[in-house]
Amino acid sequence: MIIKKFNYQELSRNEFGGKRHYVLPDGSKVPSVTTILDQTQSEEKKRILQEWKRAVGQDRAKTITTEAAARGTRMHKYLELYIKEGKFPDPGTNPFAQQSNQMAKIICEKGLKNVDEFWGNEVSLYYPEIYAGTTDCVGIWKNKPAIIDFKQTNKPKTEKQIEDYFAQLCAYADAHNKVYGSNIKTGVILMCSQDFQYQEWVIEGDDFDYWSDRWWQRTEQYYRLMISDK
């Protein structure tokens, strides 16, 4: 159940110039965290993605991506309901819903058991004038305030493959600290694959500082690109 420690405000989202933006309380628009990360991908990551699309075919790649997004949306919904109500709804007979429900339960049983307090889920966060985004969960992880994100994956990931997730966690934490005066220095990723393999990553201490620095480098790079495109 959620403990309302902070007065979180929901932010509206829209597309601006083909990129996702959030509207802040003062009416200004800023890019989303995912937009900044997408627009500043390394050339290596872009190349790997293009090679994968060529290998499987454009149509098949689109189908895989769409199915993964739908699976992730369902899994997040089940986890959101669990955090709010303390139980999982019946997924019914739909095999896709059953799969996502089971993935959510695995994340709950192996990961959320370590959350001492939930302060909010699907929390809109922003750093004034610079960026905004939505994190899956904010709360206390093993006695430390933390940003917690849930991820689905087609197959288990290596740490190298999810570096953007680490930067994302730090972006949310830095925004939370800026607006709410908190001191969140821990980020947690709870991941489950479609074949029900669980993975977990925690960044804190020097690792957190490193990825926070990387995030701000990417943010600076994004705004330089925006200026050069004008």
pLDDT tens column, 46-73: 777 788 778 878 878 788 788 888 898 9
User: Burial level of 7, CB count in 10 A (0-12/13-18/19+)?
Assistant: exposed
Map tokens 């979180």 to a residue.
8
- CATH 3.40.50, domain 12-229, yes or no: no
Nearest Cα to Cα of residue 21 among 12, 30, 11: 30
Nearest Cα to Cα of residue 149 among 176, 180, 172, 126: 172
Distance in angstroms (rounded) separating the CA atoms of residues 27 and 214: 28
Q: What is the pLDDT of residue 230?
A: 60
Distance in angstroms (rounded) separating the CA atoms of residues 29 and 23: 5
198-204 vs 144-153, strand pairing mode: unpaired
Contact indicator for 50, 228 with CB cutoff of 8 Å = no
Distance in angstroms (rounded) separating the CA atoms of residues 44 and 103: 30
Q: Whole-model pTM above 0.95? A: no
Residue 135, strand partner residues? 123
Q: What is the pLDDT of residue 222?
A: 95
DSSP 105: H
Q: What is the pLDDT of residue 8?
A: 96
pLDDT tens digits, one per residue of 164-218: 999 999 999 999 999 999 999 999 999 999 999 999 999 999 999 999 999 999 9
Mean pLDDT of the chain: 92
Q: What is the pLDDT of residue 45?
A: 77
Task: Spell out the domain ranges in the chain.
Answer: 12-229
